Structure 1
């Protein structure tokens, strides 16, 4: 089983004095990340990001608001920035709901094995890979690399297919990050979330992110590792009304998590 997550816009920058380390926080090591064969491509994106973040029009290039320009400026020093496990760097609704800080060591080890977090900078990283806080979305165009979603789709296809194999893939990503890698539909369960009121269903982005994060946490905390769609549905049904739609053509299986709004 592999669980695919999006990153978060918000990130918590680690401190140089990492309490979990005996010395200074390690710096970014591309070869130490999950999918080390992508180290060269990650270096390419990092070089382009540093260059773009130094430009006068960096705000427009990186498609960000003026309030986060300090984060854009920090991009220029990513090689010297402290790192922390990816699940600590990413903040926001999904990761708050996942609540990785309450996972046991065994559950964190499962996360390291089973969870991949997609990223405009790294393509994808493991749950516990050490990364710095950065600002870069998958829909940005960077120099000669062009659109990062298109770039990573080409670069990640073979290594991701080898990593995933024919096991179950639980896809909790947003659309922009989903373009970077599309696993085989017959082996993929796409997670959707709906809020139902008066018989009408709608997607509320905040609640959808929360549901995907909560489900990921439930899967990692499960006493038995889920291996099939039926296993995942059984766990999800403890929290939500669930509906499953089978794969059809290029469309993967769909798991709908339905919450009732008063």
Structure 2
């Protein structure tokens, strides 16, 4: 089983680990691509502040993000498990998973997508940064397309025989879109809230709470040592773990199954 996650916009601070070592990150095959993104980001951030803010989508008062992005090559690092914060990661509790009996499963099962690094594992050491997959970074262009061209073959091989539990947002899903036959073993997680008014039951898609639920189901699967190999087994496992889940088959070829988790 592979759990595909987005990063978080929020990052930990107070970092004091060793400097970045690009070649030590997971998927060393894309080291040159990571260097290309680093170089492009450095060129952007050492240019006019106004241009960098516009490209990166930074608010006018956020000076820290630019300063961090200007010094990434020599910046101190920490594990990705400790770097990413926010609702999804609060519920995933990745540091505890990586430091306990579930360490091997967490290290081998979790892939975190990133506009800067492409994909990292939870134990990879990286510095705090600001670069969304949705950015059009000169001269590389849209980062989703840039990384899709470099990750698709690698991740298709990595996914051979594995069930993919896709907890990414649309922005990060752009970097890897599993095609047939991998798509037949891919499940996109959707979260809805169910409310009742008399005899009428309504379902609404939630956004902020969806992050919490995706983190919670990933935590449950890893803590329980679950190893589903098919979408149906995944739905059964989550229902057994207390997450009300409903599986819908793909609407077309090259599309994933949809797993609806009902809150």
Same fold at TM > 0.5: yes
Structure 1 residue runs of 5 or longer lacking an equivalent are 17-24
Following the alignment from structure 1 to structure 2, what is the Cα–Cα distance between the partners of residues 162 and 105? 28
Output the aligned Cα RMSD: 1.4
SS state at 2:262 partner: strand
Trace 1:25-174 onto structure 2 (pairs within 5 A): 25-56=17-48, 57-103=51-97, 104-174=99-169
Following the alignment from structure 2 to structure 1, what is the Cα–Cα distance between the partners of residues 9 and 19? 21
Corresponding residue for residue 189 of structure 1: 187
Corresponding residue for residue 205 of structure 1: 207
Higher mean alpha-carbon deviation, 50-59 vs 179-188, is at 50-59
Following the alignment from structure 2 to structure 1, what is the Cα–Cα distance between the partners of residues 214 and 94? 13
Following the alignment from structure 2 to structure 1, what is the Cα–Cα distance between the partners of residues 96 and 107? 15
Higher mean alpha-carbon deviation, 159-168 vs 219-228, is at 219-228
CA contact 1:14–1:82 (8 Å) conserved in 2: no
What's the offset of the Cα at 1:67? 4.0
Following the alignment from structure 1 to structure 2, what is the Cα–Cα distance between the partners of residues 54 and 203? 41
Give the paired residue count.
251
What's the offset of the Cα at 1:15? 2.2
What's the offset of the Cα at 1:14? 4.5
Following the alignment from structure 2 to structure 1, what is the Cα–Cα distance between the partners of residues 95 and 183? 32
TM-score, normalised on structure 1?
0.91
Structure 2 residue runs of 5 or longer lacking an equivalent are none
What's the offset of the Cα at 1:251? 2.0
What's the offset of the Cα at 1:224? 4.0
Corresponding residue for residue 240 of structure 1: 243
Following the alignment from structure 1 to structure 2, what is the Cα–Cα distance between the partners of residues 121 and 44? 10
Structure 1 segments of 4+ aligned residues over 3 angstroms from their partners: none
TM-score, normalised on structure 2?
0.91
